[in-house]
Chain A
Amino acid sequence: MSATAESVQDRKAALKGLGTSRKRVEDARFTQGKGNYVDDIKLPDMLFGDFVRSQYAHARVKSIDTTAAMELPGVVAVLTAKELEPLNLHWMPTLAGDKQMVLADGKVLFQGQEVAFVIAEDRYIAADAVDLVKVEYEELPVLVDPFKAELPDAPVLREDIADQKEGAHGARRHPNHIFTWEQGDKGATEAIINEAEVVAEEMVYYHRTHPCPMETCGSVASMDKVNGKLTLWGTFQAPHVVRTVASLLSGIAEHNIRVVSPDIGGGFGNKVGVYPGYVCSIVASIVTGKPVKWVEDRMENLSATAFARDYWMKGKIAATSEGKILGLWCHTTADHGAFDACADPTKYPAGFMNICTGSYDIPTAYLAVDGIYTNKAPGGVAYRCSFRVTEAAYFIERMIEVLAIKLNMDAAELRAKNFIRKDQFPYQSALGWEYDSGDYHTAWDKALEAVGYKKLREEQAQQVEDFKAGKTRKLMGIGLCHFTEIVGAGPVKNCDILGMGMFDSCEIRIHPTGSALARLGTISQGQGHATTFAQILATEIGISADEITIEEGDTDTAPYGLGTYGSRSTPVAGAATAMAGRKIRAKAQMIAAYLLEVHDNDIEWEVDRFVVKGAPERFKTMKEIAYASYNQAIPGVEPGLEAVSYYDPPNMTYPFGAYVCVMDIDVDTGVSDIRQFYALDDCGTRINPMIIEGQVHGGLTEALAIALGQEIAYDELGNIKTGTLMDFFIPTSWETPNYQTDFTETPSPHHPIGAKGVGESPNVGGVPAFSNAINDAFRAFGLTHTHMPHDHWRVWKTANDLGLHG
């Protein structure tokens, strides 16, 4: 008996399924430089494209002279809006229902905007030719401050839609106004705020930043004029959507387009959108009949393809004098830049900002978001977050701290007092979401216990005394955060992008010898899908993860799916994988019963086989079943063992976590030093603990970057000030602290395996934890809030403004 029990354990371990810290199968090729990225694609006769970009933030384009460029040997063509117009490709639709210039059509609206596309025999000639294109500009007044967009003297940016009173998301009240999005109960919320015993108010700015993946964006388009087929390789987080959009835009039938996302060197939302470079490489290939490659450089990436955040969130939070929160009010001014190119589900122009009630049971709430045009790059992408969840989490986690100050209460205690209780799930939030599951108090207590919270506060109080007594010039900050995410978009009934429902898919083939191939509609950019999806499947179908190949990213082979962003792969495609696996198992059960000569109901699943109930020595392994499925005539059962699942999730998933950051701050120099960072994540069922830990480390490091310095800044003329990695902060191992990771496990009740997704949690929860630590350090000296990024000089300024420099 014990021998069998042991062998069940052994067989289970051999599968390397759910819960195994299986090594990443991708890493063998990545660590040997054998990855295959877009820029590795080399085709015969391939040409190279490069952009002439605007140096002005707002200017009229008077003329473009391409003569000198065309005369340079090796230059094949120069495209301007004039060449694209007959194809109706000088503008393109954005994912947010707006449109964007592919190449400057009469004017430019941000520095770095694409003006002309030079096509040459090699990229060096292309770069030289860019310098030879002469563009004559007439400068226009520049609008960089969204709060000045509707002043009487504000320049009108989008003359193309200046008279349109109705936008993609309702009424527009001004030519520079894009939309107003309202959620919740305005009247009731304002009434509560007017009457409450305590109201805390703050303007919380989440500054503009950029996902800045290691690999920049690029594409290779190859139009085969003989068979009419277009192949497009590119840095696409959603290759299937790109195929559909490319078909709709170009008029090429969808079956004649093949889109391939090869290895992708990080996406973080930067590679969801459609960029002028993609369109130009396609047009250039159609025009020249040759493959055309376009790959942007780092400065182009930072200044033109996507930005993230840039939300001015004005908040009011009402509570009783005991600290029970009664209502939350938020008005956000969203700086969208020159075109509204946010990658949000269509019905959510401000993404899931309405998750801003966070982890708290707030009975009444109201949110309004105004989208505004400015002379900055378009984007508004979800930088390692699910559609503005990170803005929402930052907002509420700052507001809680501000309220704690107002109440003169401990911020950890205030949180615990207001958490949604375990027994309240599924929980209906005031702003319209149904939280699936959670156990916030348990996670919170565990976190506070792990860091020795009480002791830390005592130490901090002592340090404040010492500082006041002139014994030290350092202060200590304790940054708390309890975040709740909303990920896994999403139910087709309310989630679509450009009309395409946000389901996802998995297709499985079991080979006769019992190994398998599974293809998904998603695409890994470093998340380790080839490792983890095989693990989900291993547990479902009893074939070792090592014998399952995962493929994604080629639209000719993979099933249609909406791609990878917003932590949706595990919640949606992961669910499809489990469901397809269950279809395989259901068929396998019929085959096994036939082979074992018993009724279907007389056998049961055990790790990797079907066993006759009560007769453990009689069984058929999945491998045996697979072989039989192809090679044995089974009455009433089709040959083969394959399954497809298109999964439309019934709800989003709601991962959560409790983070604590302890920082020491040098008041005289503004330098902060992270002493400790504790991160507890609850992502439901854990598929691969090692990968979770890796994702948490990576996400926290991005969060650290954002909170402490990473920004896209413009001067008053709209010049980008942080366009290189000298000024745009990417932490090295030196700036990265040790992270202490931990977990609780509260499965999602509606997901087939209970998994919620984790890739983005650390960015969402990390930013408030770091920022709260900085803010908290100065609480004893009267600070309520100071804006990110908390780089040296801003921290120094905070101290200086508080009079701490004597």
Chain B
Amino acid sequence: MITGSFDYHQPGTLQEAVALLAKLGDGARVLAGGHSLIPTMKLRLAMPEHLIDLQAVRELKKIQVTGAEVCIGAMTTQAELIASDELHRAAPIVRETSLQIADPQVRYLGTIGGNVANGDPGNDMPALMQCLDATFVLSGPDGERSVQAREFYEAAYFTARDDLEILTEIRFAATSGGYAYEKQKRKIGDYATAAAAVLLGKGADGSCEQASIALTNLADTPLYCEAASAQLVENGLTEPSVDAAVASAMSQIDPVDDNRGPAEFKRHVAAIILRRAIQQAWARA
């Protein structure tokens, strides 16, 4: 459990960091909280020659709520997300999700940027970001560009981010209505057996005005369930409508057998967890 050897760099600004990454190229990896990357390095599954630590890049650490717009710097830790009352008022689902990630020790170091950039289907933030319809801001040698979270994930550990780009910010609109992040896991510190992020808006007449559903760890990427979401908006929260939405979401999943259990079990649990998340979000709407 000892990493291969590497050179360590600590740039002070984003510009320096982007330049370093461009210079060092393929052999370099960005280091955020290290709580996904370093375990992989200890197993020698990853052996980068250079680590570019973003810890000293102050501009990447921020939570800004401007009107209905939320902007979070990539180096903001999960603990900071939990602690921010401003963020909680703007999008309470973020705290609810963050509290279900790992344990307090991990959350003091693990960052939102690392969590969404990592590309591990087990991470909880990617589905949350798809649920929130967040925008990821990437900065590379050719400048800045934006990618929607719903377009970002290609396969396990493959994302739309270019190797030479750094994810700098995450932006999304403040939420209203009901929310829920439901996660089944074996223990504290475990990735999801199945998890679901749900946002629902309730109209004055009890109709479903808005719905957004995304799932964690049930395929090799997070899953935004567009059809299921549309189904709820169209037909409301009646029992048959929820059944149809769940069935639609379940048609998208493709879980794998692992120590959490066989795919058959995960399919069953995923439907239960999603149903509970929908019920909870609706109760809060």
Q: Which of A727, A732, A792 contacts B103 (CB 8 A)?
A: A732
Min CB distance A434 to B, Å, is 42
Question: From residue 1 to 22 of chain B, which have CB atoms closer than 8 A to chain A?
Answer: 1-2, 4-5
Docked complex Cα distance between A794 and B186 (Å)? 12
* CB-defined contacts of A727 to chain B, threshold 8 Å: 259
* CB-defined contacts of A159 to chain B, threshold 8 Å: none
Q: Which of A299, A670, A731, A793: most chain B CB closer than 10 A? A: A793
B5 near A735: Cβ-Cβ < 8 Å: no
* CB-defined contacts of B184 to chain A, threshold 8 Å: 669, 671, 792
Docked complex Cα distance between A794 and B269 (Å)? 13
B268 near A668: Cβ-Cβ < 8 Å: yes
* CB-defined contacts of A805 to chain B, threshold 8 Å: 268
**Stretch from A59-67, A124-132, A351-359 contacting the other chain:** A124-132
Min CB distance A665 to B, Å, is 14
- With contacts A729-B186, A735-B187, A792-B186 known, is A713 near B269, CB below 8 A? no
B268 near A791: Cβ-Cβ < 8 Å: no
Docked complex Cα distance between A100 and B188 (Å)? 38
Min CB distance B258 to A, Å, is 9
Min CB distance A674 to B, Å, is 13
A559 part of interface (Cβ distance < 8 Å): no
B44 part of interface (Cβ distance < 8 Å): yes
| In the complex, per-residue mask of B258-279: 1 if CB is within 8 Å of any chain A CB, else 0 | 0111100100110011000000
Docked complex Cα distance between A61 and B10 (Å)? 45
**SS class, residues of chain A in contact with chain B:** loop
A483 part of interface (Cβ distance < 8 Å): no
B2 near A732: Cβ-Cβ < 8 Å: no
Q: Which of A124, A731, A792 contacts B261 (CB 8 A)?
A: A792
Docked complex Cα distance between A713 and B259 (Å)? 9
Docked complex Cα distance between A298 and B42 (Å)? 12
A123 part of interface (Cβ distance < 8 Å): yes
Docked complex Cα distance between A800 and B262 (Å)? 13
A297 part of interface (Cβ distance < 8 Å): yes
Min CB distance A797 to B, Å, is 7
B188 near A732: Cβ-Cβ < 8 Å: yes
B272 near A127: Cβ-Cβ < 8 Å: no
Min CB distance A65 to B, Å, is 20
A726 part of interface (Cβ distance < 8 Å): yes
A463 part of interface (Cβ distance < 8 Å): no
B260 near A793: Cβ-Cβ < 8 Å: yes
Docked complex Cα distance between A734 and B187 (Å)? 8
A722 part of interface (Cβ distance < 8 Å): yes
Docked complex Cα distance between A770 and B183 (Å)? 24
A796 near B186: Cβ-Cβ < 8 Å: no
A729 near B187: Cβ-Cβ < 8 Å: yes
Min CB distance B259 to A, Å, is 5
Min CB distance A802 to B, Å, is 14
B265 near A731: Cβ-Cβ < 8 Å: no
* CB-defined contacts of A731 to chain B, threshold 8 Å: 187
Docked complex Cα distance between A124 and B2 (Å)? 7
Docked complex Cα distance between A455 and B189 (Å)? 37
Docked complex Cα distance between A791 and B258 (Å)? 13
Min CB distance B267 to A, Å, is 11
A127 near B189: Cβ-Cβ < 8 Å: no
A709 part of interface (Cβ distance < 8 Å): yes
Question: From residue 32 to 55 of chain B, which have CB atoms closer than 8 A to chain A?
Answer: 44
Question: From residue 112 to 148 of chain A, which have CB atoms closer than 8 A to chain B?
Answer: 123-124, 127-128, 131
A792 near B268: Cβ-Cβ < 8 Å: no
Write 17 A-B pairs (CB below 8 A) sorted by A numbering: A128-B4, A131-B4, A298-B1, A668-B269, A713-B259, A729-B186, A729-B187, A732-B187, A732-B188, A734-B187, A791-B186, A792-B260, A793-B193, A794-B261, A796-B269, A800-B268, A805-B268
- Given contact pairs A668-B272, A729-B187, a sample of 19 additional A-B residue pairs in the complex whose CB atoms are under 8 Å apart: A124-B2, A128-B4, A128-B5, A131-B44, A668-B269, A669-B269, A670-B265, A670-B269, A709-B187, A713-B259, A726-B189, A726-B190, A726-B191, A791-B186, A792-B193, A792-B260, A793-B193, A793-B260, A793-B261
Q: Top 8 closest A-B pairs, CB basis?
A: A793-B261, A127-B2, A297-B1, A793-B265, A734-B188, A727-B259, A732-B188, A668-B272
> Residues of A at under 8 Å CB distance from B?
123-124, 127-128, 131, 297-299, 668-671, 709, 713, 721-722, 726-727, 729, 731-732, 734-735, 791-794, 796-797, 800, 805
